[in-house]
C-alpha cells in the first residue's frame, strides 16, 4: 500500500488505487498509520524532485519504514493531499480525524492596498492593474504605457539629467516593470524600486531597490547596470538574477541565474568585488559586512514569480513574516518556543487558510482570526 500512499501525496493516484486505499483505510489502525506518517514522518522534498514516481516511492518507503523521526518539514503539497482525502472519505472524516477544524473555515480578510507610482515632483498615482493607459512624467509628457500588471517605459526623450520615478508594491501583490533600456524587472510583494524614466546615453544605468526583485538586464557593455541595495552595489552588463533585501532578514541575497554579476560593498567599488557564476548565491551579512558564496538551486529563489512559497532553514517566526507579506495579513505569534523552531517548507499557489490549516494539523496550533489578523496561541 506504500505506493498508493505515495501516489496519493503526489496527486497521481488512479480511481482503482483510490478504492484499494479506501478499503485498506477501513481498518482504524491503518488510518492511524497514514495520519501519523503525514503528520510526523513526511520528508519528501518536491522542490528538487522531478516527476519520477519510482524515485518518489523509494524516498517515501524509506520514511515509512524508518524508526527515526526526521527534521520537521512542512507538507509541500497540502492542497493535493486534502483534495485526495476528500475524494476518499468526505469532509466528515476530515473533521473526525482532526485534519480540519472549524476555525480553519473562518475566512481572513486581507488588506487590499494599491500599487503606487511616485513621480519626480512628488505626485503619487494609483495603479489599477486592470487598466491600460499612458504613463506620463511630471510635465505631462508621455514616457510609457501601462498594460494591466506591467509598466513599459520607452526611450523617447533625450535628457541631460536623470529624472526618477518610484514604484511601490504593497504586501500581497506583485508587478512588472520594463525600463527604458528594455530591462525587465519583476517586483515582489512589499518592495519598491526607484529608477530613471530614461537612462542617459553615457554612464551607468543605476536603480535603487528595497525588498525583492528579479532582473532580466539588457546587455550594454558601455553602460553597466547597477542595482543599489542599502550598503551593496550589484553590477552587471547583461544577465538574469534575483535580489532579496527585506529589512527584517538582516542580509541581502543575490542569486545568479544567467551571466555574471559583481557584488561590491559601497566603500570598495573598485576593489574587493565578489563575482558570482550561474547557480551561485552571494549573501551579504549586514552585521559582519562580509559576503558568503554558496552553490544553490536557483529555482528555489525565483519560484515566487509563479506564486510559490519556498522556505529553507527558517524559524517559524521568520516564515510568519513572509506569510504576512505574501498574503497581506497580520500574524501575532504568542508561542515563543515554536517561534524559534527551524523548518523547511514549500506551498504551491494555495490560500492562506490552507497554510494555517496545515499548521493547525501538524503542530496542533491554536489560532483565531480577527478580520485580517491571525493570533497564534
Cell of 258: 544567467
| pLDDT for res 17 | 74
Question: What string of DSSP letters covers 12-30?
Answer: ---HHHHHHHHHHTTSHHH
pTM attached to this predicted model:
0.73
Q: Which residues pair with 295 in a beta bridge?
A: 280
For range 109-125, the mean pLDDT: 91
pLDDT of residue 317: 93
| Positive/negative CA dihedral, 35, 21, 15, 92 | negative
Topology at the third CATH level for domain 115-301: Jelly Rolls (2.60.120)
Question: 211 is written with which cell numbers?
Answer: 525588498
CA-CA distance, 220 to 226, in Å (whole number)?
Answer: 12
Block residue for cell numbers 488512479: 14
Across 168-180, average pLDDT: 96
Average pLDDT on 95-123 reads: 70
Q: Choose from 107-121, 150-164, 174-188 the range with maximum mean pLDDT.
A: 174-188
Say which residue, 272 or 169, is predicted with more confidence.
169
pLDDT on residue 218: 94
Q: How confident is the model at residue 377 (pLDDT cuts 50, 70, 90)?
A: confident
CA–CA gap between residue 296 and residue 276 (Å, rounded): 12
Q: Is the pLDDT of residue 48 over 60?
A: no
Q: Measure the CA–CA gap between 209 and 269, rounded to whole angstroms.
A: 18
- Torsion angle of the four alpha carbons 168, 171, 176, 179, in this order, in degrees rounded to the nearest 10: 20
Neighbouring residues of 323: CB distance < 8 A, sequence distance ≥ 6: 309, 329, 331, 352, 355
Alpha-carbon gap, residue 135 to 85, rounded angstroms? 49
Least confident of 7-16, 194-203, 312-321: 7-16
Q: What is the pLDDT of residue 50?
A: 37
Query: 146: pLDDT confidence band, cut at 50, 70 and 90?
Result: very high
Query: pLDDT confidence of 30, banded at 50, 70, 90?
Result: confident
φ/ψ (deg, to 5) at 284: -95, 110
> Nine-digit cell at 167?
514604484
The residue among 346 and 182 whose pLDDT is bigger is: 182
- The more confidently predicted of residues 349 and 95 is 349
Report whether pLDDT(67) > 50.
no
Pick among 3.90.226.30, 2.60.120.10, 3.55.50.30, 3.40.47.10: CATH of 306-376 = 3.55.50.30
| Cβ(284)–Cβ(243) below 8 Å | no
Question: Would you give the distance in Å from CA 20 to the centre of its chain?
Answer: 37
Reported as a single tens digit per residue, the pLDDT across 310-331 is 888 888 999 999 999 999 999 9
- Per-residue pLDDT at 105 exceeds 50: no
72 pLDDT tier (thresholds 50, 70, 90): very low
**Domains of the chain, residue spans:** 2-99, 115-301, 306-376
Average pLDDT of span 54-71 = 47
| Lateral strand order in the sheet of 367-370 | 330-333, 373-376, 367-370
**pLDDT of res. 293:** 96
pLDDT, tens only, 238-288: 899 999 999 888 999 999 999 999 999 876 655 558 999 999 999 999 888
Amino acid at each position: 500500500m506504500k505506493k498508493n500512499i505515495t501516489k496519493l501525496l503526489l496527486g497521481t493516484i488512479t480511481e482503482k488505487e483510490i478504492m484499494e486505499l479506501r478499503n485498506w483505510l477501513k481498518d482504524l489502525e491503518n488510518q492511524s498509520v497514514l495520519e501519523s506518517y503525514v503528520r510526523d514522518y513526511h520528508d519528501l522534498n518536491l522542490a528538487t524532485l522531478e516527476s519520477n514516481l519510482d524515485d518518489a516511492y523509494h524516498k517515501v518507503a524509506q520514511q515509512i519504514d524508518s524508526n527515526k523521526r526526521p527534521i520537521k518539514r512542512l507538507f509541500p503539497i497540502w492542497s493535493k493531499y486534502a483534495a485526495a482525502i476528500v475524494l476518499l472519505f468526505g469532509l466528515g472524516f476530515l473533521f473526525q480525524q482532526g485534519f480540519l477544524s472549524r476555525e480553519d473555515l473562518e475566512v481572513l480578510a486581507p488588506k487590499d492596498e494599491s500599487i503606487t507610482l511616485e513621480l519626480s515632483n512628488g505626485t503619487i498615482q494609483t495603479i489599477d492593474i486592470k487598466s491600460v493607459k499612458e504613463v506620463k512624467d511630471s510635465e505631462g509628457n508621455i514616457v510609457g504605457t501601462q498594460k494591466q500588471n506591467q509598466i513599459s517605459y520607452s526611450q523617447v526623450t533625450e535628457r541631460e539629467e536623470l529624472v526618477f520615478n518610484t514604484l511601490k508594491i504593497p504586501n500581497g501583490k506583485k508587478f512588472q516593470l520594463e525600463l527604458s533600456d528594455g530591462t525587465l524587472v519583476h517586483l515582489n510583494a512589499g518592495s519598491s524600486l526607484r529608477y530613471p524614466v530614461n537612462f542617459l546615453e553615457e554612464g551607468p544605468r543605476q536603480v535603487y531597490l528595497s525588498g525583492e526583485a528579479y532582473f532580466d538586464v539588457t546587455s550594454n557593455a558601455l553602460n553597466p547596470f547597477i542595482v543599489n541595495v542599502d550598503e551593496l552595489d550589484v553590477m552587471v552588463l547583461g544577465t538574469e538574477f534575483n535580489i532579496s533585501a527585506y529589512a527584517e532578514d538582516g542580509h541581502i541575497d543575490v542569486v545568479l541565474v544567467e551571466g555574471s554579476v559583481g557584488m561590491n560593498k559601497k566603500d570598495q567599488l573598485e576593489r574587493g568585488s565578489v563575482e558570482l557564476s550561474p547557480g551561485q548565491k552571494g549573501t551579504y551579512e549586514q552585521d559582519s559586512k562580509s559576503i558568503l558564496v554558496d552553490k544553490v538551486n536557483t529555482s528555489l529563489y525565483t519560484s515566487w514569480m509563479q506564486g510559490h512559497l519556498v522556505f529553507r532553514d527558517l524559524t517559524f517566526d521568520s516564515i510568519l513574516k513572509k506569510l504576512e507579506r505574501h498574503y497581506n495579513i497580520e500574524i501575532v505569534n504568542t508561542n515563543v518556543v515554536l517561534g524559534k523552531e527551524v523548518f523547511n517548507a514549500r506551498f504551491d499557489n494555495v490560500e492562506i487558510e490552507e497554510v494555517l490549516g496545515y499548521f493547525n494539523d501538524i503542530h496542533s496550533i491554536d489560532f483565531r482570526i480577527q478580520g485580517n489578523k491571525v493570533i497564534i496561541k
